[in-house]
Amino acid sequence: MRSRTILIVDDEPRSREGMKKILRVWAAGQYEILTASSGGAAMEILEETPVELMITDIRMPEISGLALVSQLRKKSIQRQPSVILVSGHAQFEYAQEALRLSVVDYLLKPIGREKLIASVEDALKVVEEQEDIVYMRKMADPKLMAIREEEAGLSDPIRKAMHYVEMHIEEVISQQEVAAHVHLNVSYFSSLFKEQCQMNFSEYVTRRKLQKAKELLLKTNLTIIEVAYRTGYQRVKYFNKLFKEYEGMSPGQYRSMRNGVEAHIP
C-alpha cells in the first residue's frame, strides 16, 4: 500500500523542523512527513512523489510559496495536493491570491500545535472528499449514468418506479409491486421500462443495488454480509456471485482496490 504524504516547505529550518516534529507525532505513522527548504526542492519532490497535502511558507527566496503553488497548478503531475499557506505577515494580497489558487487554509506564524493539527485535519478531509468523488465517478455504472442523463425525457411512471427502487433499496423488489405502485399492469410496465431505459426492470434493480453496494464498500467499514443485507440480498453467496458477474471481481477485491491494495482478479 502506498504511504500517504505531507510535504512541508519552509526555508527557515526551525519552523520547518518544528512543524515536522508536531505532525510526525500526530500522524503516528499514518503519513510520511517530508520537508523541503526551497520551492525548487519541493517541486522535485512533487514531480516524483504523490503528495496529499503541502504546507508551504509564502516568503521564500527564489520561488515564493505563492509562485510554487501557481506553478504546481499548471503542471500535469500525478496528484494535485491540497495546500496550506503559512506566513509571518498578514497581507490582504496574500489572502486574495490564496483564494484564487484554491488554497485550503492560510495560517499566520507563530502557529500553535493545536491550530496546525486542526488545519491539517480539515485539509485532509477535503482531500478524502475529492478522492471519493473522483473514485465514485470512475466506478459509476455507465448504463445507470446514461439513464440518469436522460431522466428528464422519461415518462412519469418510469421516474416514479426508479424513485420507488431508490426508497426500497434495502428490500427485495419485485416488478409486480412496482407496476402496481405506478398503476400499470405488469406486462405494459415491463415493455415501457425496457423501451425507455434500454434494459429490463430486473437488470435495473440489480445494477442499482450493486451501485449502492459499491458505495457502502467504499465509504463504510460494514462487513460484506452487512452490505449484502443493506442492499436487499439475504443470501450472501448469491450477492457475491452477482457482484462478480457485473464488476469482474468480488466485493472484497473491490474494497481492497479502493484502499490502494492491488487485488488479484482471476
Tens-digit pLDDT profile for residues 158-206:
999 999 999 999 999 999 999 999 999 999 999 999 999 999 999 999 9
pLDDT, position 265: 35
Query: What pLDDT sits at residue 132?
Result: 74
From start to end of 65-203, where are the E strands? 82-87, 105-108
Q: Is the pLDDT assigned to residue 147 strictly greater than 80?
A: yes
Q: Considering the domain 4-138, what is its CATH architecture?
A: 3-Layer(aba) Sandwich (3.40)
pLDDT for residue 57 is more than 60: yes
Q: Give yes or no for a contact between 223 and 213, defined as CB atoms under 8 angstroms apart.
A: no
CA torsion, ordered 224, 229, 234, 236, to nearest 10 deg: -10
- Give the tens place of pLDDT for each residue, 10-45: 999 999 999 999 999 999 999 999 999 999 999 999
In the chain, CATH 1.10.10.60 sits at 140-258
pLDDT at 264: 36
More confident residue, 94 or 85: 85
Domain with CATH 3.40.50.2300 in the chain: 4-138
Q: What percent of the chain has pLDDT over 70?
A: 94
pLDDT given at position 159: 95
**The domain defined by 140-258 carries CATH number 1.10.10.60:** yes
- Average pLDDT, stretch 244-262? 79
pLDDT number for residue 225: 96
Could you give the CA distance from residue 259 to residue 53 in angstroms, rounded to a whole number?
18
User: So what's the pLDDT on residue 62?
Assistant: 87
